[in-house]
A and B are shown apart, each in its own frame.
Chain A
Amino acid sequence: MTRRRPRIPFGGLPWTARLVSLGALAWVGVICGMIVWHVSVKVAYLRGNLLLSAYTVLVSSYVISRFALAAFYRPPRDAGIVPSVAIVVPAYNEGEAVARTIHSCIGLEYPDDKLEIVVVNDGSTDDTWEHMRKAAARYPKGRVRCVDLGGNKGKRAAMAAGIRATSAEILVFVDSDSMPAPGSVRLLVQGFADEKVGAISGLTHVRNADENVLTRMQAARYYVSFQLLKSAESVLGAVTCCSGCFAAYRRAAIAPLLDAWEHQRFLGVECTYGDDRALTNRVIKAGWTTRYDARAQAWTDAPDRYRKFFRQQLRWKKSWSREGPLLLAHVWRSRTRALPSIAVQTIAGLLSPLVVLYSLVTPIAGGRFPMIYFLGLYLVSMGYALTYRMLRDDGMWIYAFAGTFFYVAFSPQLLWAIARIRDGKWGTRDAPASAPPFAQRPVQVHGAAVNDG
């Protein structure tokens, strides 16, 4: 079984598969061309509701710019550097699973003397700490470091403690239910050969994709989001969220802002969620470049129940609504060339739920069916689906199509998220048989969800 090579999608494929991929690419081109043409007509003939037109132009240019920028994406060059790396794994009530994570991290292809694993126990009430000690004892001293916070302090505190406990140059964050591919850490750190790079995000797949329709839609969504949105952001040098489940940060970049990050307060409340986005945000603010490496892959579990899924989405939307404006407040000077896309993403993202509701209510209230809106949505969905099909041939492209509608349909959740932004509860804790607070924390990819409309 050869390793998947998403960056060179057509390499080594039989010519029929290559032809199908090229066909999909051509269709993506046609769709983009149609949308560009529509936008230019809109601009040339300013008519109708000016606000809606402006929204259409903004969102369409944003979506098109993602396709265009992603076409220029190249993963960081393999510089052959081997910096010292610490993998920080915060754990809360993981039980035996923490041992599995430790074993899989040890199994990574990386020089033993350069790789260190820091496992932080965030005041677990079960036997997590025992499992950690037992697993660590199986390896030579210094390879696995166990930190006990002594009480439940929250994920940020756990991560900060882990970072302070090590002196490695590069810190790789891996969620306790994430599984990096063996060679992924070696690839992930290559981008740091560039002195200006402060953080790099890897590509995260959904491990339980075959579970049900929901996880399939998420899997397709993750993939398209990473390959389109993160690629595009990487081209501009400002990946806005180096996800908590698999990303690397330069120690020099985060050391000065660790305290502020750990105790971030927003609207008078301590921030409990959105740690990865908040950290990336501060790294960008400090003037560092953030990148995305599509070669470094990890697998994570996505929520397989709608209830859990909606709660996760609510957390992400809260952190997006908080960090989006914060990012906008400094990105104009910290990374000016990313300003237009971030501004449009923020504005359109905030308007999107209103537009969705408006488009659904208008025909019910007796107005005209907003055909253009839904057709546009359809075309964008097809664009994503065809992009997926171009890069991967596993039959999941239909879920990329359906998922776009699905994500847009509940984008009004953002309004609720904004209304409850000060509420720091994870929302999973009180659920029966709930996972640990940061167990269900894959990447934040809803940037696409709120911007499709």
Chain B
Amino acid sequence: MVERAEPAPWDRPAPGRSTRLFRAFTGLAFLCALGLALVTWVTLSRPFDPGQRSAPAVRPDPAAVRAAAALPRYPGSVLVLTYHGVSDTDRAGSTLSRELFGRHMAVLAAAGYRTVRLRDVEDLLARRPVRLPPRAMLITFDDGQLTDWTTADPVLKEHGFTAVGFLATGKIVQPGTPSYYLSTRQVEDLAATGRWEFGSHGDGPHDLVPVPGDVAAPMPNLILVDGKRETIGHWRARVRRDLARSQRFFRETLGHPVRAFSYPFGKAGDSGNDPRIAKELPALLRRAGFGEAFVGEDVPTGPVDALTAGSPRWALDRIGVRSTTSVADLLEMIRAAVPMPLPRDLSALPWTGDHAACRRDASDLRVTAGGYGSCLLRGVNTSKWTDYRMTASVSGIDPRTSAVIAVRDGAGTRHRGRVEVVVGAASALVRERDGERRPTVLGRTPIAPVAGARGVRIEVRGIRLTVSVAGGRPLRAAIDPRLGEGGLTFEIAARERHTLTYRKPTLHPLRAG
């Protein structure tokens, strides 16, 4: 090393300075970059944890409340509603505005609806003794959207309602993560309110997938895997895995598995493309620890029944509510869903004419038509009218006019058949229809002429039918088991304009047979 001529380090002058302007510029640039970095840092680190919004102030429309109060009651039934999101900013068809949701709840609360817990539902299905409020309801929320926490819960709290959240568990995020769905912490918080119970809505991706010839919900279908239809074994393993993952989520988050399930897309096994699925899916659900499963995510396109002791455990109906469902629509759907107890005086019901004029006259029902006409019950849930005896006497039958009384009429139910009792001037017959097919005659009897009204007695008990027409021998027949429920109609078949009078049409309940 050479001897350095330079001064000792501690005596060295400060290093050469760049100009004041340059230094100021560098410093400023760095400070701006630092500011930007800090802003980004805050944006990235800030936890996404929205609080609850207060319930919107809504005053229920008095007319709606009156209409709601007039809804039928059926002791031992539970009305089940399906909601998804509740938000003023989300435009999804399944998302209600906060105001509309508030009005729904307010009207239901004013009409005396009280919520029940899943445990009550289980007891009801198991036919264990359970005390249900006179108007019992179960509010469910599918998917587990964030709005369950932010907007729906405050409204429920206001009305003292409880709810069931069916979580698409794969979509539930870690706390603080920006998401459209709940976080595990919000699930815990909701559970801690005591208002919320949870069920599973499946775990896997909540998307329609290709199935042979279509796209459909993955759970109840054999889907296409690599362009080939999967085997039933593959399907079984896939669904079992999905259910197990979902239950694991609940064990980890809530500390216990859940009992209730709601089918993704509301599609139960019978909607699938393989008959074995309809049979096996409930078994898989049961094995995964579930006790009941709900269908019905959307506005019902077919009949919906409120949940009762006899409801099918693996396909429990719900009324889907969407952004377009006004309070009036909701009440209409509820009316159609709540079973009407077996009435005694049939003439007092709101009959509507179909190609006929229906008129109530004291305790008689007068049907006038110039051809074939019917008196129907619209928007009445007759699903509980299974075992009864109908008595009436008919006047006005002549050789050109027959009386037709239909039982197990499929309008508004899950089948399209009916059983008709035709009473003419000289004979009576019983025939069964199923859809558009030609009717099958189940029995026929000549009847002796009688003076005045002719008494008719129809007994329905399960699949057994007994018809007694005054002046004829009793007709007994077995009904197709598919025609398990349905209402009654009073009809006229006339060559020219005529009126039939059904005197004192009355129902007497019978013990189930």
- Chain A interfacial positions (CB closer than 8 Å to B): 1, 3-4, 27, 30-31, 34, 37-38, 41-42, 44-48, 94-97, 100, 177, 179, 181-182, 205, 207, 210, 297, 299, 371-372, 375-376, 378-379, 382, 385, 394-396, 398, 401
The answer to whether A207 and B9 touch across the interface, beta carbons within 8 angstroms, is yes
CA distance A371 to B38 in the complex (A): 12
Which stretch from B113-121, B174-182, B269-277, B365-373 is at the chain A interface? B174-182
17 CB-based A-B contacts, threshold 8 Å: A1-B13, A30-B38, A31-B34, A45-B49, A47-B173, A47-B175, A97-B1, A179-B8, A179-B9, A181-B9, A182-B10, A297-B10, A299-B10, A371-B44, A376-B41, A396-B15, A401-B30
- In the complex with contacts A41-B47, A398-B26, A27-B17 CB distance below 8 A: no
Tell me, yes or no, whether B21 is within 8 Å of chain A by CB: no
Q: Which residues of B contact A47 (CB under 8 A)?
A: 173-177
List the B residue with the shortest CB-CB distance to A372.
Answer: B44
Question: In the complex the two chains form, what is the Cα distance from A297 to B8 in whole Å?
Answer: 12
Residues on B with C-beta less than 8 A from A376 are 41
With a cutoff of 8 Å between Cβ atoms, the chain A residues found around residue B10 in the complex are: 3-4, 181-182, 297, 299
B46 at the interface (CB under 8 A from A): yes
Contact partner, B42, options A27, A34, A95, A378, Cβ 8 Å: A34
Say yes or no: A27 contacts B41, CB within 8 Å: no
* Shortest distance from the beta carbon of B96 to any chain A beta carbon, whole Å: 29
Find the A residue at minimum CB distance from B45. Answer: A38
Smallest CB gap from A206: residue in B: B9
Q: How far is the CA of A30 from the CA of B41 in the complex (A)?
A: 12
A398 to B174, CA, bound (A): 39
Per a CB cutoff under 8 Å, which of A4, A45, A395 touches B15?
A395
Residues of B within 8 A of A (CB): 1, 3, 8-11, 13-15, 17-18, 23, 26, 30-31, 34, 37-38, 40-42, 44-47, 49, 173-177, 185
Given contacts A45-B174, A96-B1, A394-B15, contact A34 B9 (CB under 8 A): no
Interface pair A394/B1, CB less than 8 Å apart:
no
| Contact A27/B34 with A47-B177, A379-B41, A394-B14 known, Cβ cut-off 8 Å | yes
Which 4 pairs between the two chains have the least Cβ-Cβ distance? Answer: A47-B174, A45-B176, A299-B9, A97-B1
Given contacts A1-B13, A41-B47, A375-B41, contact A382 B34 (CB under 8 A): yes
A184, chain B: closest CB distance, angstroms: 9
Measured in the bound complex, the distance between the Cα atoms of B10 and A398 in whole Å is: 22
Which A residues are in CB contact (< 8 Å) with B17? Answer: 395
A47-B175, A97-B1, A379-B38 known; A1+B11 contact, CB < 8 A: yes
* Chain B residues, CB < 8 A from A401: 30
The closest CB in chain A to the CB of B49 belongs to: A45
B37 and A46 form a contact (CB under 8 A): no
Contacts of B175 in A (CB 8 A): 45-47
Which residues of B sit under 8 angstroms from A42, Cβ to Cβ? 45
Contact of A48 among B3, B41, B174 (CB under 8 A): B174
Bound Cα distance from A112 to B17, whole angstroms: 40
Chain A residues with CB under 8 Å of B15's CB are 210, 394-396
Count chain A CB atoms within 10 A of each CB in B15, B18, B173 and give the residue with the most.
Answer: B15
Q: B185: nearest residue on chain A (CB-CB)?
A: A45
Nearest A residue to B7 via CB reads: A1
Q: Determine the distance from Cα of A181 to Cα of B13 in the docked complex, in whole angstroms.
A: 15
When the two chains form the complex, which single residue of B1, B9, B41, B47 contacts A205, counting CB atoms closer than 8 Å? Answer: B9
- Which of A47, A95, A297, A372 has the largest count of B CB atoms less than 10 A from its CB? A47
Cα–Cα distance between A4 and B12 once the two chains are bound (Å): 11
Cα-based distance from A184 to B175 in the complex (angstroms): 55
CA distance A376 to B176 in the complex (A): 19
A395→B42 contact, CB < 8 A = no
Tell me whether A34 and B1 are in contact (CB under 8 A): no
In the complex where A45-B174, A382-B37 touch, is A27 in contact with B3 (Cβ < 8 A)?
no
Does B13 contact A379, Cβ atoms closer than 8 Å? no
Question: Which A residues are in CB contact (< 8 Å) with B30?
Answer: 382, 385, 398, 401
Minimal beta-carbon separation of A44 from chain B (angstroms): 7
New A-B contacts (20) at CB < 8 Å, excluding given A1-B13, A395-B18, A398-B30: A1-B11, A4-B10, A27-B34, A37-B45, A41-B47, A47-B174, A47-B175, A47-B176, A47-B177, A94-B1, A95-B1, A181-B9, A181-B10, A207-B9, A299-B10, A371-B40, A375-B37, A375-B44, A379-B38, A394-B14
Chain B residues with Cβ below 8 Å from A207 are 9
A45 touches B47 (CB 8 A): yes
Instruction: Assess whether A96 is in contact with B38, with CB atoms less than 8 Å apart.
Output: no
Once the chains are docked, how many angstroms separate the CA of A196 from the CA of B52? 59
Q: Which of B26, B38, B176 is the one whose CB lies under 8 Å from A34? A: B38
Contact between A378 and B37, CB atoms less than 8 A apart: yes
Return chain A residues, CB-CB under 8 Å to B41. Answer: 34, 38, 372, 375-376, 379
Q: Which residues of B contact A371 (CB under 8 A)?
A: 40, 44
The smallest beta-carbon distance between B45 and chain A, in angstroms, is 4
* Chain B residues within 8 Å of A45, by CB: 47, 49, 174-176, 185
Min C-beta distance of B168 to chain A, whole Å: 19
Smallest CB gap from A371: residue in B: B44
* In the bound complex, CA of A395 to CA of B38 (Å): 23
Question: Closest Cβ of chain B: how far from A30's Cβ, in Å?
Answer: 7
Interface centre among B1, B11, B49 (most CB of A within 10 A): B1
Interchain CA distance A27-B30 in the complex, whole Å: 12
Q: Which residue of B lies closest to A181 (CB)?
A: B10
Residues of B within 8 A of A182 (CB): 10
Residues of B with C-beta under 8 A to A378: 37
User: Contact at A41–B45, with CB atoms within 8 Å?
Assistant: yes
Q: Return chain A residues, CB-CB under 8 Å to B34.
A: 27, 31, 379, 382
Taken together as a complex, chains A and B put the C-alpha atoms of A204 and B1 apart, in Å, by 21
Q: How far is the CB of A210 from chain B (nearest CB, A)?
A: 6
- Which interface residue of B17, B31, B34 has the most chain A CB atoms within 10 A? B34
Residues from chain A with Cβ under 8 Å of B185 in the complex: 45
CA distance A10 to B5 in the complex (A): 32
**Shortest beta-carbon distance from B403 to chain A in Å:** 72
Least Cβ distance of B22 to chain A in Å? 10
Contact of A375 among B26, B31, B40, B47 (CB under 8 A): B40
Q: Please, which residues of chain B bring their CB within 8 A of the CB of A100?
A: 1, 3
Q: Are B3 and A96 in contact (CB under 8 A)?
A: yes
Question: Complex Cα distance A439/B8, Å?
Answer: 19
Contact A41 B46 (CB under 8 A): yes
Q: Which of chain A's residues has its CB closest to B10's CB?
A: A181
Who on chain B is nearest to A184 by CB? B10
Q: Give the interface centre of B13, B30, B42, B45 by most chain A CB atoms within 10 Å.
A: B45
Assuming the contacts A299-B10, A395-B18, A395-B23, asked whether A44 and B38 have C-beta atoms less than 8 A apart, the reply is no
Nearest CB in chain A: distance from B30 CB, A: 8
Nearest Cβ in chain B — how far from A199, in angstroms?
Answer: 24
Find chain B residues with CB under 8 A from A372 CB. 41, 44-45
Q: Note all chain B residues with C-beta closer than 8 A to A375.
A: 37, 40-41, 44
Min Cβ gap B99→A in Å is 32
When distances are taken between beta carbons in the complex, the residues of chain A under 8 Å from B31 are 27
CA distance A16 to B407 in the complex (A): 100
Closest CB in chain B relative to A177 CB, distance in Å: 8
The residue on B at minimum CB distance from A398 is B26
**B177 (CB) vs chain A CBs: closest residue:** A47
A140-B23 Cα distance, complex, nearest whole Å: 52
In the complex, residue of chain B having the shortest beta-carbon distance to the beta carbon of A96:
B1
Inter-chain contacts of A385 with B (CB < 8 A) = 30
Complex Cα gap A396–B26 (Å)? 12
CB neighbours (8 Å) of B9 from chain A are 179, 181, 205, 207, 299
Shortest Cβ distance from residue B422 to the other chain A in the assembled complex, whole angstroms: 71
In the complex, what's the smallest C-beta–C-beta distance from B413 to chain A, in angstroms? 50
Residue of A27, A385, A401 with most chain B CB atoms under a 10 A cut-off: A27
CB-CB < 8 A to B177: which residues of A?
Answer: 47-48
Q: How far is the CA of A181 from the CA of B8 in the complex (A)?
A: 8
Task: List the B side residues contacting A97 at CB < 8 Å.
Answer: 1
Within 8 Å CB of A44, what residues of B?
Answer: 47, 176
- Find the B residue at minimum CB distance from A435: B1
List chain B residues, Cβ under 8 A from A96: 1, 3
Known: A27-B31, A179-B8, A395-B17. A379 touches B37 (CB 8 A): yes
